[in-house]
């Protein structure tokens, strides 16, 4: 029995096919692998290629049903979609993957299964196999608490609303469309039947008060194991997170090396948000007016056939490109954020981007677009004081939702100035951001909060299964 307890856990990880979900869950899988556990990541061939950098876990692939859903070969990740139809087809494909994945797991059962909350079917599978199941959805615990509170109290349809029973007074000015809210709430209900949530954050950023609040109001367990982006140690490895970068790390670093400390605004809206030209033009005009240099990641546009160069770039004010670096496609975000010349991050508040900025000690200019991002913004600005808001109050553009609203240049410019122009407020925000970065680093080091949580979780799973 003693020897059995020493046996590594056999763990299956099933990440959702979107960069914002895959990157952190695969990083977290590596945390387990680095502690001697036997890890298998279950995914599709194209997504498996993005995992080449590590040898300490196994990958089990299943053919992506491209033909069945009418997609070209190689489009297997939500982050490679640039229109709603493609996104819907990828979602459809993930439902078709259930059957082959399920039968593989049944034939080769693990000790525990860790799956994205967008795969609620794993609940029944784990019950059938009598194995523990952990859930990952890539959200902060703060956001999960907020969503739970909104669900329990049946609020959120009319605005503004105060999140009920919360340790802080947090007023929300944005609500999801009713059908999306119901969908997320149904997934959360299934997630709460699991053996616990895995959170890509460190406990100090969500705060003890939210951990206690969560456990008290739900009776469910949450394990802070992040920041996931700290799993790897060298820049070159970090450059390969997610999709392939269209610029080299060297090019980004040498451009940033030529700039002053804290002088550059980094702009990126994650992997599934794409703005129309008129919104890009407002951003460009605001940055131009602020006078700051920038690195701006713009999703690669497919462009219509016969579109002239001028038509393709009609969102750029004249001469604008000269004062910064525009990256069309995928950028080495973690490397950029980690460079001392970067003084602020204009972000959509996707949770990965948020926690990566915190880890780098970079203040945020917050512009939520959809999903959990509006809650993340409140944690950053109102609760932890490490960013300022642009003032976006509505769901706008992303892979599964579109509306025609545009945020005007004046609001963007004002927020950029508040963080970049070095006044008292900016200095305090920067100081707090640096303190959280230090805490993040300590959390994943030996004896830190996330490190200890992982030790406790592995022990807990062993007592349940071995
Ligand atoms: O050019 C790029 C663009 C993105 N990234 C990385 O891609 C990830 C993007 O994740 P995130 O910032 O969370 O944004 P989304 O891709 O929008 O993530 C989705 O998933 C997140 C986790 O569930 C949610 O918080 C978001 O709202 C949801 O949109 C991050 O690790 C980035 O570092 C790059 O490396 N290079």
Predicted local distance difference test score (pLDDT) of residue 239: 63
Q: Which helix (H) or strand (E) holds 324?
A: strand 324-328
Tokens standing for residue 196: 């616990």
Going by alpha carbons, the residue nearest to atom 4 of ligand 1 is 270
Which of 462, 461, 439 lies closest to 451, judged by CA?
A: 439
**Which structural domains are found in the chain, ordered by start?**
10-230+443-464 (3.40.50.2000), 235-301+308-440 (3.40.50.2000)
Q: Say whether the peptide bond before residue 81 is cis (omega within 30 degrees of 0).
A: no
Q: How many CB atoms lie within 10 A of CB 206?
A: 25
Q: Cα 199 from chain centroid? A: 11
Report pTM: 0.94
Going by alpha carbons, the residue nearest to atom 21 of ligand 1 is 20
Predicted local distance difference test score (pLDDT) of residue 238: 60
ipTM of the complex: 0.99
Separation between Cα atoms, residue 97 and residue 115, nearest integer Å? 13
Q: How many CB atoms lie within 10 A of CB 222?
A: 22
Residue 270 Cβ inside 6 Å of ligand 1? The answer reads: yes
Going by alpha carbons, the residue nearest to atom 20 of ligand 1 is 20
Predicted local distance difference test score (pLDDT) of residue 401: 67
Separation between Cα atoms, residue 215 and residue 99, nearest integer Å? 34
Tokens standing for residue 370: 């959809």
Q: How many CB atoms lie within 10 A of CB 378?
A: 24
Tokens standing for residue 124: 């029944």
Predicted local distance difference test score (pLDDT) of residue 256: 98
Predicted local distance difference test score (pLDDT) of residue 326: 95
Catalytic residues, which ones? 21, 116
Q: How far is the CA of 108 from the centre of ligand 1 (A)?
A: 32
Residue 377 Cβ inside 6 Å of ligand 1? The answer reads: no
Residue 387 Cβ inside 6 Å of ligand 1? The answer reads: no
- 3 state SS of 283: helix
Residue 359 Cβ inside 6 Å of ligand 1? The answer reads: no
With beta carbons less than 8 A apart as the criterion, state whether 129 and 105 touch: yes
Tokens standing for residue 237: 């490895």
Angle among Cα 275, 400, 379 to the nearest 5 degrees reads 75
Which of 466, 462, 372, 461 lies closest to 194, judged by CA?
A: 461
Q: Mind listing the pLDDT tens digit of every residue in the chain (466 residues)? A: 444 457 999 999 999 999 999 999 999 999 999 999 999 999 999 999 888 666 689 999 999 999 999 999 989 998 888 778 888 999 999 999 999 999 999 999 999 999 999 999 999 999 999 999 999 999 999 999 999 988 888 876 677 888 888 888 999 888 888 888 899 999 999 999 999 999 999 999 999 999 999 999 999 999 999 999 998 644 455 666 777 889 999 999 999 999 999 999 999 999 888 888 889 999 999 999 999 999 999 987 644 444 555 555 677 888 888 889 999 999 999 999 999 999 999 999 999 999 999 999 999 999 999 999 999 999 999 999 999 999 998 888 766 666 768 899 999 999 999 999 989 999 999 999 999 999 999 999 999 999 999 999 999 999 988 7
Separation between Cα atoms, residue 72 and residue 64, nearest integer Å? 11
DSSP letter at 130? T
Separation between Cα atoms, residue 278 and residue 93, nearest integer Å? 32
DSSP letter at 199? E
Separation between Cα atoms, residue 200 and residue 380, nearest integer Å? 15
Task: Please provide residue 411's backbone torsions phi and psi, each rounded to the nearest 5 degrees.
Answer: -65, -35
With beta carbons less than 8 A apart as the criterion, state whether 111 and 10 touch: yes
**3-state helix vs strand vs coil in the chain, percent to 5:** 50, 15, 40
Going by alpha carbons, the residue nearest to atom 28 of ligand 1 is 350
**Residue 270 CB-density burial (10 A; 0-12 exposed, 13-18 middle, 19+ buried):** buried
**Residue 301 CB-density burial (10 A; 0-12 exposed, 13-18 middle, 19+ buried):** middle
Residue 20 Cβ inside 6 Å of ligand 1? The answer reads: yes
Which of 184, 183, 74, 182 lies closest to 138, judged by CA?
A: 184
Angle among Cα 433, 438, 365 to the nearest 5 degrees reads 20
Q: How far is the CA of 19 from the centre of ligand 1 (A)?
A: 6
With beta carbons less than 8 A apart as the criterion, state whether 275 and 360 touch: no
- Residue in the block written with tokens 């303190």: 435
């Amino acid at each position: 029995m003693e020897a059995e307890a020493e046996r590594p856990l056999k763990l299956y990880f099933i990440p959702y096919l979107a960069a914002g979900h895959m990157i952190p869950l695969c990083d977290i899988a590596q945390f387990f692998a680095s502690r001697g556990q036997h890890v298998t990541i279950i995914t599709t061939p194209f997504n498996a290629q993005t995992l080449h950098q590590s040898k300490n876990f196994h990958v089990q692939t299943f053919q992506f049903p491209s033909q069945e859903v009418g997609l070209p070969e190689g489009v297997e990740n939500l982050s490679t979609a640039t229109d709603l139809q493609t996104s819907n087809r990828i979602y459809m494909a993930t439902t078709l993957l259930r059957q082959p994945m399920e039968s593989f797991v049944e034939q080769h059962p693990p000790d525990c299964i860790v799956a994205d909350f967008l795969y609620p079917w794993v609940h029944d599978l784990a019950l059938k196999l009598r194995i523990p199941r952990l859930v990952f959805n890539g959200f902060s615990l703060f956001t999960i608490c907020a969503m739970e509170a909104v669900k329990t109290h049946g609020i959120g349809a009319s605005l503004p609303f105060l999140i009920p029973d919360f340790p802080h007074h947090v007023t929300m000015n944005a609500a999801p469309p009713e059908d999306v809210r119901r969908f997320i709430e149904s997934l959360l209900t299934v997630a709460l039947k699991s053996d616990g949530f895995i959170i890509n954050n460190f406990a100090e950023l969500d705060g003890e008060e939210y951990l206690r609040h969560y456990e008290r109001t739900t009776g469910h367990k949450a394990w802070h194991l992040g920041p996931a982006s700290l799993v790897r140690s060298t820049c070159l490895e970090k450059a390969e997170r997610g999709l392939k970068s269209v610029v080299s790390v060297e090019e980004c670093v040498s451009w940033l090396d030529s700039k002053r400390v804290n002088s550059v605004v980094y702009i990126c809206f994650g992997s599934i948000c794409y703005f129309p030209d008129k919104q890009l033009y407002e951003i460009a005009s605001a940055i131009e007016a602020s006078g700051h240099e920038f690195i701006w990641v713009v999703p690669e546009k497919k462009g219509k056939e016969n579109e002239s160069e001028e038509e393709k770039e009609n969102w750029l004010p004249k001469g604008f490109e000269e004062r910064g670096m525009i990256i069309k496609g995928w950028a080495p975000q973690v490397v950029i954020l980690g460079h001392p010349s970067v003084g602020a991050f204009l972000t959509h508040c996707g949770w990965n981007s948020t926690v990566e900025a915190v880890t780098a000690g970079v203040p945020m200019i917050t512009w939520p677009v959809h999903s959990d991002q509006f809650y993340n913004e409140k944690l950053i600005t109102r609760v932890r004081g490490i960013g300022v808001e642009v003032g976006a109050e509505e769901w706008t553009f992303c892979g599964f939702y579109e509306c025609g609203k545009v945020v005007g240049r004046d609001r963007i410019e004002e927020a950029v100035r508040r963080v970049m122009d070095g006044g008292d407020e900016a200095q305090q925000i920067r100081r707090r951001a640096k303190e959280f970065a230090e805490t993040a680093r300590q959390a994943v080091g030996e004896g830190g909060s996330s490190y200890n949580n992982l030790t406790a979780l592995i022990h807990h799973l062993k007592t349940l299964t071995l």
